[in-house]
Amino acid sequence: MAAEAQKIRLIRVPFAVGTSRPGNEQGADSFMEAGLGRTIRNLGWELTEEILSGEENVKEISRLLAERVRQAVEEGAFPLVLGGDHSVTIGTWAGLTNRSANLGLVWFDAHPTLLTADTSTTGYANEMALATILGKSGLNMPGTGRIRPENIVFIGLRDVQPSEREWIRAEGFTCFTMHEIDRLGIEKVVESALRIAGDGTDGIHVSLDADVLDPLEAPGVDSAVPGGLFFREAHFAFELLAESGLITSMDVSEVNPFLDEKRRTSKLISGLIASLLGKKIL
Ligand code: MG
């Protein structure tokens, strides 16, 4: 069970203004339709839900979301943010770190999202999410709180642009690409990730981009990249995160129900959220 919180504040962000294609705005609803609310309650959590509404740009959504996340933290609830595209992490992080909380970050994604206003060819914020949190994307966004590069861990990278590769090398971010996952196995990878993200921090935020999963099992994403995490590998990872008791918040993004097949992606992601929140086989 994740660190101490008995309450979950589930915040739906039904927008996809940080990306180019329609569909991500319905991601959060697709998890609820897959029964996520009931699953969370059945795990013993006290669940409150809210939905952001009425906003049309990433900056304003991020500002509102940060406020909601900050309130959830102050009430002692576990913030669970359901996007939307990956730009939801910008507002989430701003809210989490508002009171100078010192958090580690585990980033599950095929992409590092370290493009900037200069290096992105599309200009969409979901490609620049972590660069924005680090204050270096060139996007004008709500101020994010502290983030220490040594407590950031990537898991599942396999589509990295040259400028991102340079940045990762220069900054020394810990990256468990699919190569390291193949070599070490997901158990060692997650154990190392927990140690690194948890070193000297008050908790760990998990950011889950659905495209970290293999598109054979999770086809409902805009930026599908072959060669990702498989069903059991991903579940085992999230079960290990739950066992650690170190995870204090989570955001989920990049599910596009328009591209999904028989809700496979929504169901798989909902299952991973449940694993993180303590669901076990027995
Ligand atoms: Mg991605």
- The arithmetic mean of pLDDT across residues 73-94, rounded, is 96
Cβ 184 vs Cβ 156: under 8 Å: no
Dist. CA 78 → ligand 1 center (Å) = 24
- The arithmetic mean of pLDDT across residues 209-233, rounded, is 97
Dist. CA 214 → ligand 1 center (Å) = 12
Report the percentage of the chain scoring pLDDT > 70: 98
Report the percentage of the chain scoring pLDDT > 90: 86
Residue 82 confidence (pLDDT) = 97
Tokens 């101490």: give the residue. 4
Residue 3 confidence (pLDDT) = 47
Residue 5 confidence (pLDDT) = 62
Rg (the chain; Cα; Å): 17
Average pLDDT, rounded, for the chain = 94
| Strand partners of residue 174 | 153
pLDDT digits (tens, 9 = 90+) for 1-19: 444 569 999 999 998 888 8
Dist. CA 6 → ligand 1 center (Å) = 30
Domains of the chain (ranges, CATH numbers)? 7-276 (3.40.800.10)
Dist. CA 182 → ligand 1 center (Å) = 19
> Is the confidence at residue 235, as pLDDT, over 90?
yes
Dist. CA 87 → ligand 1 center (Å) = 11
Contacts of 163 (CB under 8 A, 6+ apart): 114, 115, 116, 119
CA angle 189, 193, 198 (to 5 degrees): 155
Residue 22 confidence (pLDDT) = 87
Chain-centre distance for alpha carbon 122: 21
Nearest to 222 by CA among 110, 99, 129, 73: 110
Which has the higher per-residue pLDDT, 38 or 139?
Answer: 38
Q: What is the DSSP letter of 253?
A: E
pTM score: 0.96
Dist. CA 130 → ligand 1 center (Å) = 11
